[in-house]
Structure 1
Amino acid sequence: MSRVVVVVGASSGIGRATARAFAERGDRLVLAARATTTLAEVRAECADVDVLTVPTDATEPNALDDLAEAALDRFGQIDVWVHTAAVMAYGRFDELPERVFDQVVRTDLLGAAGSVRVALRHFRVAGAGTVILTGSVLGHITAPYMSAYVTSKWGLQGLARTVQQELRDSPEIRLCLVNPGSVDTPVYQQAANYLGRFGRPPVPVASPQRVARAIVDCVDRPRREVSVGRLNVLLRAGFTVLPGVYDVLVGPLMRAAGLSGRSVAAHDGSVFAPNPVGEAVRGGHLPDLRQLVFGPVGAVGAALRRRLG
Structure 2
Amino acid sequence: FFFPTSHLHHMRQGNDTPISEFLLLGLSEEPALQPLIFGLFLSMYLVTVLGNLLIILAVSSDSHLHTPMYFFLSNLSLVDICFTSTTVPKLLVNILTQRKIITYKGCITQIYFFILFGMLDNILLTIMAYDRFVAICHPLHYMVIMNPRLCGLLVLVSWIISGLNSLLQSIMVSQLSFCTDFEITHFFCEIKQVVQLACSDTFLNNMEMYFVTALLGAGPLTGILYSYSKIVSSICRIPSAQGKYKAFSTCASHLSVVSLFYGSVLGVYLSSAATQSSHSSAAASVMYTVVTPMLNPFIYSLRNKDIKRALKRFYGMAG
Class of the TM-score when normalised by the shorter of the 2 chains: under 0.3
- Ranked by relative contact order (alpha carbons within 8 Å, sequence separation 6 or more), the top structure is 2
The structure whose residues are more often strand, as a share, is 1
The structure whose residues are more often helix, as a share, is 2
- TM-score normalised by L of structure 2: 0.27
- TM-score normalised by L of structure 1: 0.27
Q: Which has the larger radius of gyration?
A: 2
